[in-house]
Structures are given as C-alpha cells and as structure tokens.
C-alpha cells in the first residue's frame, strides 16, 4: 500500500499543500509520475472524457501533453472538507500551429485514507489568446515560489 501525504482529513494548510503538490506534478508533464498520485482504480471525468485507472490516466495525460505544448499550470485551493478538495486552475499552452490558449477550470477531488486521489471531476473552458497575452513565463517545470498565483494575477 502506498501513502501519499498529506492525507485526509485535510486542514486548510494540508489541502493547500496537496494542491501545490498536484500542480508541481502536472507541471512536470510526466504521465507516469503524475499517475502515482491517483489510486489504482481512480475515476476521472475530464471535460466529456471518462477515465478509469492509472493505465488510462497515463494514456490520457500522454495524449494531452502531446497536443498541449509548452504547458504551464497554476492551481489554487477553493475549498476543502474531510477527504475532499475543490480547486480552480488555469493553464497556458499552444497547439502545433502556434495558437495559444488559456484554459480555465474547476476540479473536485476525493481522496482515499492513504492520500491517493480516487475521484477527479474537471470542467474546463479554453480561451484563445495572443502570445503577447500570456502571463506564465517561467521555465518549463515547477512554478517558482515567487511567481504570482491565480488571485494575484486577477485570473
């Protein structure tokens, strides 16, 4: 059995830590690594796509990051209660034609007792932007600690 701290029930501090750890993982764009934060039978709804299990999560994320180039993500804690966390997020990316987007969304997460996410529901909207409208300019990978968050950026 794998434990993925912090574990529920979450406090505001541990929920915020869990959100930042998830952001860091997704910004790695490493599907195998990211999948380890989810239970083996984790269930997702991502937009209109339904995904179940780590193998399907790896396939989903591989397709996503093959399409969403130069992906940079910021997540922010919205609410928490017991084993659940609600998050809002925005990420910037471009397609293979060089068209830039900012994708906004909300996620509802539910964790098992070991801190693995067992349910993820994501609603996401894509906004075409000009490259000059980008606000995420850190090098690919983890967002620097001194980079503004969503609220600081007015997003």
Q: How far apart are CA 133 and CA 155, in angstroms?
A: 12
Give the contacts of 116 (CB within 8 A, at least 6 positions apart): 2, 4, 37, 38, 39, 42
25-79: pLDDT as tens digits? 999 999 999 999 999 999 999 999 999 999 999 999 999 999 999 999 999 999 9
Domains along the chain? 12-134 (3.10.450.50)
111 contacts 83 by C-beta, under 8 angstroms: yes
* Whether the Cβ atoms of residue 87 and residue 76 lie closer than 8 Å to each other: yes
pLDDT tens profile 45-60: 999 999 999 999 999 9
CA dist., res. 140 & res. 155, Å (int): 20
């Amino acid at each position: 059995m794998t434990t993925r701290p912090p574990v529920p029930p979450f406090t505001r501090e541990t929920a915020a830590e869990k959100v930042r750890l998830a952001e860091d993982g997704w910004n790695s764009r490493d599907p195998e690594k990211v999948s380890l934060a989810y239970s083996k039978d984790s269930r997702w709804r991502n937009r209109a796509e339904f995904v179940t299990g780590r193998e399907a999560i790896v396939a989903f994320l591989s397709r996503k990051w093959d399409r969403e180039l130069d992906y940079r993500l910021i997540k922010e804690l919205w609410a928490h209660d017991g084993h659940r966390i609600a998050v809002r997020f925005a990420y910037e990316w471009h397609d293979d034609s060089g068209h830039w987007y900012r994708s906004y969304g909300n996620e509802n997460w539910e964790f098992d007792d070991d801190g693995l996410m067992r349910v993820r529901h994501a609603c996401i909207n894509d906004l075409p932007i000009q490259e000059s409208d980008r606000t995420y300019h850190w090098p690919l990978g983890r967002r620097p600690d001194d980079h503004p968050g969503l609220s600081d950026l007015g997003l």
